[in-house]
């Protein structure tokens, strides 16, 4: 669960676990309860080295092995104490692992998503744009970056209040997500500007999608105004910065041509 990087091969996990269990459980017959302490260290370590599911399975193996050796080697009363301690430790460690995994997920959500809209933030944008540029260079898979901007957004704040402006931004993200594909990604650049990364798409498909989203925004009573869209295909970009800058230029052109339109450069 906590381990980063490439997962360990299954055979390595099985081999190491077997050696650990044999090396630390068999001495119970000669050294008594002291040897049982290794079980707590091993089962806890699993949750830092393996996935939670695999750590659970490996811990169960340790529990059964240590419990079996303890029953065979110790007096009944000490053996029962060992079993109870192992079961309690097994339960508490697995419970703690679930809690920490949930906390990690929530922290990741907070770090990577805009709290108000649920759109991804700029923290991840550079990585995904670089990935899309690399995919185009290797496999000729085209991606399109589109920047959405609500027309006359300042007027919404001035006439209807900042809360109405926030509601309009949230609705904008909702409409973009509902009318794009699951593989596409929405990022909040700041204010009312949203970036849609459309991956592995033809120019015709991208144009149709962006026009559909623009039309949905225009007809949305919650937003109450139109939007302008500037979009650029990755084939015109030589870096992610250049890609975003060109999309900004396309957005400026859409506004200068009268707003409520899509300008797609390819």
8 Å CB contact between 250 and 264: yes
The token pair at 107 is 């922290």
d(CA 72, CA 133): 63
CA 30 to chain centre: 49
Give me the half-sphere count of Cα atoms (radius 13 Å) on the Cβ side of residue 95.
6
Nearest-5° angle of CA 176, CA 180, CA 182?
Answer: 115
Kindly report the number of other CB atoms within 10 A of residue 19's CB atom. 10
The token pair at 96 is 């703690």
The token pair at 254 is 């859409």
Among 114, 151, 192, 241, which one carries the catalytic annotation?
192
d(CA 126, CA 202): 22
Task: Please indicate whether residue 241 is annotated as part of the active site.
Answer: no
- Residues marked active site are found at 192
């Amino acid at each position: 669960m906590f381990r980063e990087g490439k997962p360990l091969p299954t055979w390595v996990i099985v081999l190491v676990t077997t050696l650990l269990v044999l090396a630390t459980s068999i001495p119970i017959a000669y050294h008594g309860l002291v040897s049982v302490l290794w079980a707590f260290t091993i089962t806890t370590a699993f949750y830092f080295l393996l996935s939670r599911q695999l750590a659970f399975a490996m811990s169960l193996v340790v529990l059964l092995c240590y419990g079996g050796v303890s029953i065979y080697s110790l007096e009944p009363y000490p053996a029962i104490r060992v079993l109870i301690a192992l079961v309690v430790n097994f339960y508490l460690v697995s419970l703690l692992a679930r809690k920490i995994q949930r906390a990690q997920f929530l922290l990741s959500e907070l770090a990577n998503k805009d709290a108000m809209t649920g759109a991804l933030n700029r923290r991840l944008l550079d990585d995904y744009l670089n990935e899309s540029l690399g995919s185009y260079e290797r496999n000729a898979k085209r991606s399109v970056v589109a920047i959405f901007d609500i027309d006359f957004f300042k007027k919404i704040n001035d006439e209807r209040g900042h809360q109405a402006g926030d509601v309009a931004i949230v609705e904008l993200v909702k409409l973009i997500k509902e009318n794009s594909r699951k593989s596409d990604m929405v990022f909040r650049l700041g204010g009312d500007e949203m970036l849609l990364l459309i991956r592995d798409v033809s120019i015709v498909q991208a144009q149709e999608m962006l026009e559909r989203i623009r039309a949905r925004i225009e007809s949305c009573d919650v937003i109450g105004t139109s939007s302008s869209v500037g979009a650029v295909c990755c084939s015109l970009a030589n870096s992610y910065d250049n890609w975003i800058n060109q999309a900004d230029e396309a957005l400026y052109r859409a506004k200068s041509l009268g707003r409520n339109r899509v300008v797609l450069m390819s």
